Structures are given as structure tokens and as C-alpha cells.
Amino acid sequence: MKKFDIPAFYRSPIIGPIKEARKNKDSRKQDFTPTLLDFGPVQFYIARHFGFCYGVENAIEISYRALNENPGKRIFLLSQMIHNPAVNDDLQGHGIQFIMDTSGNQSIPWDEITSDDIVITPAFGTTVEIENQLKEKGIQPELYNTTCPFVEKVWKRSSKLGEDDFTVIIHGKQQHEETRATFSHSYQNAASLVIKDLNEAHILGDIIMGKRPMDEFETLFRERASAGFDPSIHFDRIGVVNQTTMLATETQAIADHLKNVMVEKFGEAESKQHFADTRDTLCYATNENQSATYGLMDTDADLAIVVGGYNSSNTSHIVELLEEKFPTFFISSEKEIKDDGGVEHFNYHQSKLEITNDFLPKWNRPVKIALTSGASCPDAVVDRVLQKVLSFYKETRTIDSVVESLEF
């Protein structure tokens, strides 16, 4: 896989060598068991896969190239580069301005953007409408386009579905930048609809089968459907794609359910004409990170720490999985771990910060902690979280000795 040129301060002196060693031993990525770091009174189960993915490193490299190639020019990002505060703060520190927030609300009016400016497309991609708006201003959106290749793969899959006269069902979060972009690209060629979860897929299936009145479609789904979407016509042939960072098991369950609906409605023999086998459109990193999370869940950890941006979809799904087994603390950096032993962590279900005092167990030794992060979190931040936790324990083995003693 391509090596990217990203700033050294994103790199990790602790996690980096562990990842490299695991990759060299398991180049085909068959082993999802975590790495155990034994410091004596505290142990860490480090997930097999986490942190910067191909798309994130590609986006960071292109952003810094834009800075280096355009001294003295104003440089803008359409919105956050990725959902990680450390990365976005660093880019803003270098003078890059964000045109919109993550919900698409304008921070800088379009009439202030000129053809002399540089505009970077974030890793999530952007809508066809915004691309056209930039071109009308004389800006080339493709010049510094950091759209993740796996997002573009979903767009191509949606386009092919449209060419084959299938309606596109998008499993995603309607307000997420990636889903907004995918929806925009999808409805250029196909009737398109966004659903958020398996429960909505069941409701949709009942509407398709006539088990629920059609006015429920108007109430629940109309605002998430493309213009001219006619549920009496556009549910005859369907295919499922997704926001690349959704929970893999749920996307599969949605596809399976809607396929069964088509079988029930049209019969097994005809179902292939009515349901497109799109297979999974999650990115490789989301798949690997979620598989590695299941590996963490097979351990006897006392708690889990997940590091990442609070608006990061892929990170929230890792939290969602780990919460099934462990007390799980979702933090953005080591700064949320307080010197008095408390932690300020994000409750993504209620979208608010909470404080837990004495979150590290005192009743047993060693304390065992599952540690991972989202795909947009620098490994260097995970390093600092590990070091912060270590600071609460006396007579721990040194980091160098622990890493050097590992056998892969």
C-alpha cells in the first residue's frame, strides 16, 4: 500500500512499531487478536487495527501539499478535513479556513470566495451542487480533492445501480457530510433514499409490502428521498449501499432484510431482478477496525478507552460495540483524563460530555484496559493517552522494555 508523506508529529514512537511488527507478521490481515502490553500493575490490550487509514493519510498529504504549493494564497476547506479535532486544529493553525461546519452551515459566504483562492475538498467528498458552484467561480475542485477512494467507490456503485434502473437505498446518517455527498451523487442517476438503521429498514419493508399505509413513507422518509421519488414505482428494483463508516453488521442485516422483502413480494425465482447484490460498500479500514474491536471483546479487560473525534461516525460504532461488554470511555485526547483520576468522556447516545470520577479500578491488579481509536485519530494521541494512564501507577515497567519484550 502507498506510503504517504504526513507530518512526523502525527507518528507514534510506541504504537507505530507495534503496528509495523504486526503487519510484517500478518501481512494478509488474518489475525485480529490484540497486542498485550504488560506494564506490571496495568496492562493494555491494543487493538490489532485502528488509527489513520489510507483515505485519512491521503487527505492530510494533499492538504499539506496545498499549503506548500500556494504560499501567500488563501486556502479553504469545504468543511472539516476529517472528524478529528487534533488534525483540524493543526490545519487551521496553518491558516486553512473552513467554509462550512459539519452540518453544512455556511461559515464563510460563497461571495467571499474568488477564483484566486484554493479550495480543498475534504475526505468525505462533497455534493455535485457544490462542485458545480466552485467551477462557476473558476475554481478547480479536482486540484486538491481529498475524497476517500472508498467513498468514490460507493458513488460508482450507485451510478451503476442507476444505469441498471435500480433505486439506491443508502444506509447512513442523513446529516453526515459523506452521506450528503453520496446522496447527491446517487440521485444524479437513480431514485435514492437514505435510511439510518435496521428499524427503518423494517418499516420500509412493511411499506413496500403494503403492510403499512403509504402515508408513513411521506411522514418518515420523504425528506430523505430524491426529488420525484414515487414509492409506488421506485421500490420494484432496489440495491443497498452505505456510508463507509457504518456498523458492518447492521448494513448486512439491512441488505438481508430488504432482499427477503423482495423474495416475499416477487418470489425467489424473480428476486434477482428486483434486488441488486451490491455486496458490502464499507471501506477496508472500517471492516478491519470493527473486526479488531471484536478481538478486544474476546479479552478479559476491565474497561475500554476509545480515542477519537466526538463527531466521528466510525469511532462511535467502535464505542457502540465495546459498550456491549465493557465500561467504555470515549475521549478525544489525553486531556480528558484528569490528574485527580477522573475522566471527561462523551456519551454519544445523548451527545453530551459526562464526568466519571476514579474511572480506573482499584480493586484488582493488574488493571486491564482495552485501547483503540477511530480511523481519523493520530497514533501519537493514543500514545499520549497510554502514557497518561501509566502516570497513575507506580513501579511500572518502562515503555521501551515492554515494547522490546514483545514477541510477534
Question: What residues are annotated to the active site?
Answer: 178
Sheet with 238-242, side-by-side order of all strands:
192-195, 167-171, 238-242, 275-276
CA separation for the pair 210, 204 (Å, rounded): 10
304: which strand partners?
328, 370
> Which residue matches cell numbers 504517504?
4
Q: How many CB atoms lie within 10 A of CB 111?
A: 7
CA separation for the pair 4, 60 (Å, rounded): 9
Question: Cis peptide before 366, with omega less than 30 degrees from 0?
Answer: yes
Burial code (b: 16+ CB inside 10 Å, e: under 16) for 70-109 equals eeeebbbbbbbbbbbbbbbebbeeeebebbbebeeeeeee
Q: Are 161 and 278 in contact (CB under 8 A)?
A: yes
Compute the Cα dihedral for 101, 107, 111, 115 and give only its sign.
negative
Three-class SS state of 119: strand
Q: Are 277 and 265 in contact (CB under 8 A)?
A: no
Please report, as a single letter, which amino acid is at residue 74: R
Q: Rounded to the nearest 5°, which phi and psi values hold at 76?
A: -125, 150
Residue 99's alpha-carbon distances to 77, 96, 102, 111, 139, in angstroms, are: 6, 10, 10, 11, 14
CA separation for the pair 159, 63 (Å, rounded): 28
Q: Are 195 and 224 in contact (CB under 8 A)?
A: yes
